[in-house]
Amino acid sequence: MKVIGQAISHESAREHVTGRAVYTDDLLPRYPQALHAWPVQAPHAHAHIVHLDVSPAYAVPGVVRVLTVSDVPGLNDSGIKHDEPLFPSEVMYYGQAVCWALAETEEAARLGAGQVGVEYEPLPAILTLQEAIRKESFQGSRLHARRGDVEQGLESSARVLEGELELGGQEHFYLETHASLAVLDETDHILVHSSTQHPSETQEVVAQVLGLPRNQVTVQCIRMGGGFGGKEVQANPYAAVAALGAFLTRRPVRVRLNRLQDITLTGKRHPFYARWKIGFSEDGLLHALRMELFSDGGWSQDLSEAVLARAVCHADNAYYIPHMDVRGRVCKTHKTSQTAFRGFGGPQGMVFIEEVLTRVALSLGLPGEVVRERNFYGVRGATSKNVSHLEVITTHYGQVIKDPERMPLIWHDLKAEAAFDRRRAETAEFNANNPYRKRGLAITPVKFGISFNLTAFNQAGALVLVYPDGSVQVNHGGTEMGQGLHTKMMQVAAQTLGVPLQSIRLMPTRTDKVPNTSATAASTGADLNGGAVKDACEQIKARLAVVAAQKFGVNPADVVFEDGQVWSIWKPAEGLGFAEVVRAAYTQRVQLFADGFYRTPGLYWDKTRMHGQPFHYFAYGASVSEVEVDGFSGQYTLRQVDILHDAGDSLSPLVDLGQVEGGFIQGMGWLTLEDLRWDARGQVATRSASTYKLPSFSELPPVFKVRLLPKATETGVVYGSKAVGEPPLMLAISVREALRDAIGAFGSGCIVELASPATPEAVYWAIEKTREKTLV
Amino acid sequence: MGQISFLLNGQTVRATGEDPHTTVLSWLRQQGLTGSKEGCAEGECGACAVLLLRPDGQGSRFEAVNSCLLLLPSLAGQEVWTVEGLAQGNTLHPVQEAMLQGGSQCGYCTPGFVVSMAAEYYRRDRDGFDLEALSGNLCRCTGYRPIQDAANSLGQPPQEDSLARRLTAPVPAVKSMEYCPETNGSPVQSPGRYYRPISLKELFQTLTDHPTAKLVAGGTDWVVEVNQRFARAEVQVDLSQIPDLKTLSWTDVYVEMGAGVTLCEAERWLQGRIPLLVEWFPLFASRLIRNRATLGGNLGTASPIGDLPPVLLALQAELVLVGPAGVRVVNLQSFFSGYRQTVLGPGEVIQAIRIPLPLAPLARFYKVAKRPMDDISTVAAAFALHLEKGRVQSIQIGLGGVAPTPVRAYRTEAFLVGRPWDERTVGAAAEVIRAEFKPIDDHRGSAAYRTAMLGSLLHKFHAETPEVRV
């Protein structure tokens, strides 16, 4: 029986529903001696720390230690770019942790932290993206990707439009806030349990702060209660504080951020601002695009440059544009250090180009879907004799799209399945009959590049152990945050070894099992680790095949492993159990464990020219959204969503379906109700669940049809699958465009300027503007 | 006095030495029952939901509540079940079984969903599954569709189900209680006292002894302060077990509901008899909150953005206040004396809310918020209208979010009375109402939007009552 492709439940589903699944902070009751940590958070966006007096904290009963810069035996830095002091001398954002109190109870730690005296000298702060652009407050390098001659292209275009748009950030709001628990293990070495997507980097940072070689530090991530990129690098300072505390006090130290601390301390999705100019023909063919992107990186470099690079590389989405010039800068502001968030800049680049497409369509009086499908990569070649086919399937950064037919295939399949044309007519009819409520409909595509832009990260390792009873332990470098990676890795191992899933135990991610791993990020978890797990399992199976072949008296190539049985193709009825073969192998002194390794082939990237082949392949999808807007208040409902998404030959369809649905709703949250605000002092204004609203049950559309594209084998990826973590988030762009469609129906054919996120208030003002323009 | 004893997953447990501000969630987790999670500590995410057994006629029912907003001493003598108590050995509970099919991804919110779902599963006379039962649970991973499918797949509990059988018996009788932890417990602060009177007489005595005591009914506002801003009170007085605050009566001239009645209890008892409230209940927080939050509590906190006052203002409600000196009745509009301030005197509490009858024939409630469910209003507006031959005979407009206290739009009401209920009048009245208030900017919405909504919602009310247009 095939294990790959089976729609099985999450490997921890039974533990989830019973409450027995253990997360980092659930370990706390096992360490009654643990100290609790509480940060002293600065009440300034930018300030010098003139004086720090920790002594009053010790007057609070239960306070054991206040950690400050003088306690750091190694480097006072929790980043890998060395611009993130763990204990700062200059406060760089409102709420930054200045020092940490450790105490017997959480309450005592909080009261102790409250007694620490800090004298600040406030400094001028840059709090908005616009101010940072004006003052040229940038960090990291300039990014620039180009093709053709954009000036000449714009000049020779029949029509030209320009515009600008600002996109809000997004709080990750993983349900599990950051948590670390550091202990001295049985051998007196530092073991840090951390909710981290990148245990190897957490290990590196902890070692750096403690001034230890990396082999002295072990980091383990059991599982996370959501990550979404927010735990890719941001877990490191909290792991470092816990480790430093444990190192100094020789007691377990627990750092667990409450929600308010998590929102005020940690980074978010980057707010972006773009200005653009597009040249196009009378029939809506895009000719030249100039786009400048500015992201709000916050106080430190973090992953901002890589995020921006992905935005630059996705400013084309699925469209061929002959002349393109995209530039980007990361702004430095006095805010939290913005970081990875599902999509990693891709969503911002794609919202901008979809904004452009809608503007082009409106200006021509054409439906958005018509302009979109005319401009797909590869489609253009059929309509123009002057350009080569290779040209129209090459992106502005030089990557040739090997499967350009995939996007139009998905698009037309989805349009038919969702009865798009019929619903266009129904929407128009509804709008003609309803002065106060309008409906809108839109379809948008997703083309998302898979691989880390930085080539070196595209490697992974695994360690597979087979025991003489036939049971198997699988270790790999990826972390489980709910995305179902461990489920998929169990399926890969079971399939490759030919054993039932029940024989496999998937181990927590630890740096002492598989070292030097990459972050579980960029949707690559299953591709990379799957490749490594498969490699390890194949080595073991090859050795076992030799043993079995001897017993059967056949060639090893003729031995089949399936469902816990081993047989030769010549006598399928006379098989052996997997455990029997394993035992025989053990007695013959055959190695029953193996390490596996995988590196993505064929990648190259010239960072300075922003040119090359950064992606192994593209993931595709499309979505149709239908909304209804109340003209009185701007409030709206999402009536129906139809999605067709390409997950290759899905490794685990139930898991992938969950990624598509969940990604869509999360993207919708970003573009609609998740309104991240900072106040005039630079403090996050929406710093709790009561002020920062996530999608809830009430945002689930009553009709939500999601299909995975059938017969979608991706050759060269583990079992023909495709990455699925991030791409579906951008399917939600159709919600924003459907809202614009509905808003436009309150006027007549004019430009719809809709802010992002499209809160009811933003929609209301967009309607008002539309009405005003119609009156004129 | 020094210990809190209650039933947890069917076993008697005793807590000692705990600060009376300790929440049930933090206590459970300290005991190693880490299935309940803290996602927000303010009753917004539901990851900490537990089942509280509550009286229901001859038997009892499960109410799902946020354990992060439940103070540990309030459990004394009560019966509570957590996610750990649902499975029977290795046999999953039916709601757990239903959630296996994609209902969990990271799994962190899952125990809370399981608990909310279990409460609904056991609801008596349930017809299908009311998804509103899950409105107080947030999931960041799944997008909710598989959870919805899990909920909709549930059948009825079988006869032999041990929890269903438990519900046929009454809850334990709750006794008057005073709790003060042993002094060697907390090393940090004077831990304070917790009183739970079971009669008004006892309450007044406690308040006489402790005039500055913090009154706690459902705790859905106060415990947020405890968790988020570390508010502490020397003395907390629990109002939730006083029968005189839980009366319900429907007379010829008014409807009276006790201040201690929870919103869910009111909803069940009214059975749709006040249409404005029917429209309002699901928009007022989640069921997890409404199972605890009380009518009186929402008024007593005097928040400018509480959603109950606008509705009650439109219904011209009165409040029955009771204190050691006796009973007095005040209009709701004169109850609020300023930002988070009321006319309640020392030792005085709200006993009941009185809604005069008959009700206005046309009434609507509108809530403008970023999220339709379980969000705080940017603007809330309730309209109650009586038309006579197409003219406004009387209108009451209650508003929230546009002034430091909930308000009636008296000027606009006066403008409308006697005029024909048509586009022209409403257009002019929209001008009046926009000028009547000066709302503020905040992260929920701009002043300009709030002002615009004042006129817009009046227009909307008019547009949605077309059958009475002249």
Do residue A225 and residue B108 have CB atoms under 8 angstroms apart?
A: yes
Total length of chain B: 470
Q: What is the pLDDT of residues A18-29, one digit of tens each?
A: 999 999 999 999
Secondary structure letter of residue A177 according to DSSP:
P
Q: Is A121 a catalytic residue?
A: no
Q: Read off the pLDDT of each residue in A356-384 and give the average, rounded to a whole number.
A: 89
Q: Read off the pLDDT of each residue in A541-546 and give the average, rounded to a whole number.
A: 98
Torsion angle of C-alpha atoms A763, A764, A769, A774, degrees rounded to 10: 100
Q: Does B259 fall in a domain?
A: yes
Do residue B106 and residue A436 have CB atoms under 8 angstroms apart?
A: no
Secondary structure letter of residue B433 according to DSSP:
H
B148 and B104: one domain? yes
B68 and B212: one domain? no
Tell me, what's the pLDDT at A455? 87
Q: Using DSSP, state whether A505 is helix, strand or coil.
A: strand
Is residue A626 within 8 A of residue B69, CB to CB? The reply is no
Flag whether pLDDT at A520 surpasses 50.
Answer: yes
The amino acid present at B82, given as its one-letter code, is: T
Do residue B42 and residue A688 have CB atoms under 8 angstroms apart?
A: yes
Is residue A54 within 8 A of residue A68, CB to CB? The reply is yes
Tell me, what's the pLDDT at B338? 83
> How buried is residue A480: exposed, middle or buried, by Cβ count under 10 Å (0-12/13-18/19+)?
buried
**CB distance from B67 to chain A under 8 Å?**
no
Distant-in-sequence, close-in-space partners of A428: CB < 8 Å, separation ≥ 6? none
Is residue A265 within 8 A of residue A272, CB to CB? The reply is no
**CB distance from B37 to chain A under 8 Å?**
yes
Tokens of B406: 């909930």
Closest-CA distance of chain A to residue B265, Å: 23
Neighbours of B229 (CB within 10 A): 9
Is residue A275 within 8 A of residue A163, CB to CB? The reply is yes
SS3 content of chain B, % helix, strand, coil (to 5): 30, 25, 45
pTM: 0.97
Question: In chain A, which residue's Cα lies nearest the Cα of B114?
Answer: A17
Q: Domain containing B20 — which CATH number? A: 3.10.20.30
B37 and B162: one domain? yes
Q: Read off the pLDDT of each residue in A487-492 and give the average, rounded to a whole number.
A: 98
Q: Which of A351-355, A482-486, B140-144, B282-286 has the lowest mean pLDDT?
A: B282-286
Longest dimension (CA), chain A: 89
A688 and A581: one domain? no
Identify the residue among A24, A259, A437, A696 best suited for mutation to test binding to B, counting B beta carbons within 10 A and taking the highest. Answer: A696
Q: Read off the pLDDT of each residue in A581-598 and give the average, rounded to a whole number.
A: 98
- Among A231, A247, A265, the domain boundary falls at A265
- Among A237, A265, A293, the domain boundary falls at A265
Q: What is the pLDDT of residues A405-444, one digit of tens each?
A: 999 999 999 999 999 999 999 999 999 999 999 999 999 9
Tell me, what's the pLDDT at B306? 79
Flag whether pLDDT at B304 surpasses 80.
Answer: no
Q: Please report residues of A whose CB lies closer than 8 A to that of B95.
A: 17
SS3 content of chain A, % helix, strand, coil (to 5): 35, 25, 40
Neighbours of A616 (CB within 10 A): 22
Helix and strand numbers, DSSP H then E, in chain B: 16, 20
DSSP string over B90-126: TBPPHHHHHHTTTS-SS-SSHHHHHHHHHHHHT-TT-
Do residue B186 and residue A107 have CB atoms under 8 angstroms apart?
A: yes
Using pLDDT thresholds of 50, 70 and 90, give the confidence band for residue A745.
Answer: very high
Distant-in-sequence, close-in-space partners of B71: CB < 8 Å, separation ≥ 6? B20, B21, B22, B23, B24, B194, B216, B219, B223, B226, B236, B238
Q: Does A156 fall in a domain?
A: no
Q: Does B269 fall in a domain?
A: yes
Q: Does A477 fall in a domain?
A: yes
Tell me, what's the pLDDT at B404? 86
Q: Please report residues of B whose CB lies closer than 8 A to that of A105.
A: 187-188
Tokens of B257: 């509901």
Beta-bridge partner residues of A269: A170
Q: How far is CA B316 from CA B264, B290, B319, in A?
A: 22, 23, 10
Quote the percentage of chain A above a pLDDT of 90: 96
Question: In chain B, which residue's Cα lies nearest the Cα of A107?
Answer: B188
Q: Which of B128-132, B374-378, B437-441, B454-458 has the lowest mean pLDDT?
A: B374-378
A255 and A282: one domain? no
Flag whether pLDDT at B156 surpasses 70.
Answer: yes
Is residue B20 within 8 A of residue B66, CB to CB? The reply is no
Do residue A19 and residue B188 have CB atoms under 8 angstroms apart?
A: no
Is residue B259 within 8 A of residue B352, CB to CB? The reply is yes
The CB-side HSE value for B149 (13 A sphere, CA atoms) comes to 14
B59 and B157: one domain? yes
Tell me, what's the pLDDT at B469? 45
B140 and B8: one domain? yes
Tell which wins on pLDDT, A772 or A264: A264
Identify the residue among B31, B141, B376 best suited for mutation to test binding to A, counting A beta carbons within 10 A and taking the highest. Answer: B141
Identify the residue among B33, B113, B140 best suited for mutation to test binding to A, counting A beta carbons within 10 A and taking the highest. Answer: B140
Whole-complex ipTM: 0.97
d(CA B444, CA B391): 36
A726, A737, A761, A772: the catalytic one is: A726
Q: Using DSSP, state whether A49 is helix, strand or coil.
A: strand
**CB distance from B226 to chain A under 8 Å?**
no
Using pLDDT thresholds of 50, 70 and 90, give the confidence band for residue A389.
Answer: confident
Q: Please report residues of B whose CB lies closer than 8 A to that of A107.
A: 19, 186, 188-189
State the pairing for strand pair A703-708/A636-645: parallel
Q: Using DSSP, state whether A395 is helix, strand or coil.
A: coil
Secondary structure letter of residue B229 according to DSSP:
S
B 377-396: CB under 8 A from A: 378
SS (H, E, C) A723-753: CCCCHHHHHHHHHHHHHHHHHHCCCCCCCCC
A620 and A686: one domain? yes
Q: Please report residues of A whose CB lies closer than 8 A to that of B454.
A: none
Q: Name the residue range of residue B383's domain.
A: 361-470
Is residue A655 within 8 A of residue A488, CB to CB? The reply is yes
Q: Please report residues of A whose CB lies closer than 8 A to that of B39.
A: 175-177, 259, 689
Do residue A107 and residue B368 have CB atoms under 8 angstroms apart?
A: no
B230 and B314: one domain? no
Q: Does A150 fall in a domain?
A: no
**CB distance from B231 to chain A under 8 Å?**
no
Do residue A16 and residue B104 have CB atoms under 8 angstroms apart?
A: yes
Number of domains in chain B: 4
B 426-465: CB under 8 A from A: 442-446, 449, 452-453, 456-457, 459-460, 463
Tell me, what's the pLDDT at A384? 58
Q: Please report residues of B whose CB lies closer than 8 A to that of A13.
A: 99-100, 103-104, 107
The amino acid present at B439, given as its one-letter code, is: P
Rounded to 5 degrees, φ, ψ at B339 are: -55, 115
Q: Does B171 fall in a domain?
A: no
Do residue B40 and residue A14 have CB atoms under 8 angstroms apart?
A: no
Do residue B446 and residue A696 have CB atoms under 8 angstroms apart?
A: no
**C-alpha A112: how far from chain center:** 37
**CB distance from B153 to chain A under 8 Å?**
no
Distant-in-sequence, close-in-space partners of A534: CB < 8 Å, separation ≥ 6? A492, A493, A496, A596, A598, A718, A719
Closest-CA distance of chain B to residue A695, Å: 8
Q: Name the residue range of residue A628's domain.
A: 272-452+606-775
Quote the percentage of chain B above a pLDDT of 90: 86
Q: Does B443 fall in a domain?
A: yes
- Among A599, A633, A668, the domain boundary falls at A599
Q: What is the pLDDT of residues A280-294, one digit of tens each?
A: 999 999 999 999 999
Q: Domain containing B318 — which CATH number? A: 3.30.465.10
Using pLDDT thresholds of 50, 70 and 90, give the confidence band for residue B307.
Answer: confident
Angle at Cα A447 formed by Cα A446 and Cα A453, nearest 5°?
130
Q: What is the pLDDT of residues A78-103, one digit of tens each?
A: 999 999 999 999 999 999 999 999 99
Of the candidates B240, B440, B259, the residue with the CA atom closest to the CA atom of residue B348: B259
Flag whether pLDDT at B258 surpasses 80.
Answer: yes
Q: What is the mean pLDDT of chain B?
A: 94
Identify the residue among A633, A705, A763 best suited for mutation to test binding to B, counting B beta carbons within 10 A and taking the highest. Answer: A633
d(CA A530, CA A517): 13
Q: Read off the pLDDT of each residue in B364-386 and give the average, rounded to a whole number.
A: 92
